[in-house]
A and B are shown apart, each in its own frame.
Chain A
Amino acid sequence: DAGITQSPRHKVTETGTPVTLRCHQTENHRYMYWYRQDPGHGLRLIHYSYGVKDTDKGEVSDGYSVSRSKTEDFLLTLESATSSQTSVYFCAIKGTALYHGYTFGSGTRLTVV
């Protein structure tokens, strides 16, 4: 997806290990979001950022933390991964215009074993 890159694309990790997912954008957009997507569910917001060092919780934030030290990077950390965090994680970006949709990355498929 133009302007937004997620890494890694796939990861398998063991229960209890820390994991960090990276979202990188080249659009200089102010807003960045982390969602998770599970079978049978829509996209659920984990955390979002409305500027450097400005972040807030979404509806499913337990077990996750985020950091945004630069406009272009938004990191999602699972401090101690659990099997319930096996999911596909999407990052999204948005500019400051009021009526502006999100642009999504290609996703990271995380499996916690």
Chain B
Amino acid sequence: GESVGLHLPTLSVQEGDNSIINCAYSNSASDYFIWYKQESGKGPQFIIDIRSNMDKRQGQRVTVLLNKTVKHLSLQIAATQPGDSAVYFCAENMTGANSKLTFGKGITLSVRP
């Protein structure tokens, strides 16, 4: 079947380089943000999250930056590996009863050996 990654913007990086994936979110009232990774044929997997009272959060090889002034979110992946090749989605949420995540359209990350 057709890959979910087709028709999406693609970021191509050399193995070992750092990757930066950007996302613009829409709701200035959103207070919780998540990055998901989706490999072909699988469901999205949680990578890292950040609350709106923070502007940076680090995980293992990944860092998320949040700029609320311009409603911008970025995911940095250090020393990109072939296994990082996937579609990446940002998601935003305004926490509260029965809140729902709203997902961006996604970006395909392609790692060149």
B7 is contacted by which of A40, A44, A88 (Cβ under 8 Å)?
A: A40
Query: Do A42 and B103 have beta carbons less than 8 Å apart?
Result: yes
Say how far B94's CB is from chain A's closest CB, in angstroms: 11
At the interface with chain A, which of B38-46, B59-67, B70-78? Answer: B38-46
Contacting A at CB under 8 A, from B60-106, are 89, 91, 95-98, 100-101, 103-106
Report which of B1, B4, B36, B42 forms a contact with A106, defined as CB distance below 8 A. B42
Question: Closest CB of chain A to B57's CB: distance in Å?
Answer: 12
Q: Is the CB of A104 within 8 A of B100?
A: no
**Interface size in chain B (residues, C-beta < 8 A):** 30
Total A residues in contact with B, Cβ cutoff 8 Å: 29
User: Do A99 and B51 form a contact, CB below 8 Å, given A40-B7, A43-B103, A90-B44?
Assistant: yes
Q: Is the CB of B3 within 8 A of A50?
A: no
Contact with A along B1-24 (1 / 0, CB 8 A): 111101110000000000000000
What is the minimal beta-carbon distance from B9 to any residue of chain A, in angstroms?
10
Write the nearest CB–CB distance from B82 to chain A, whole angstroms. Answer: 22
Docked Cα-Cα span, A105 to B44, in Å, equals 8
Report the Cα distance A9→B44, complex, angstroms.
15
User: Does A22 sit at the interface, judged by CB under 8 A?
Assistant: no
Residues of A within 8 A of B (CB): 1, 31, 33, 37-45, 48, 50, 56, 58, 88, 90, 98-99, 101-107, 109, 111
A41-B105, A42-B89 are known; give 9 further A-B pairs, CB within 8 A. A39-B6, A40-B105, A43-B44, A44-B103, A90-B44, A98-B96, A99-B95, A101-B91, A102-B34
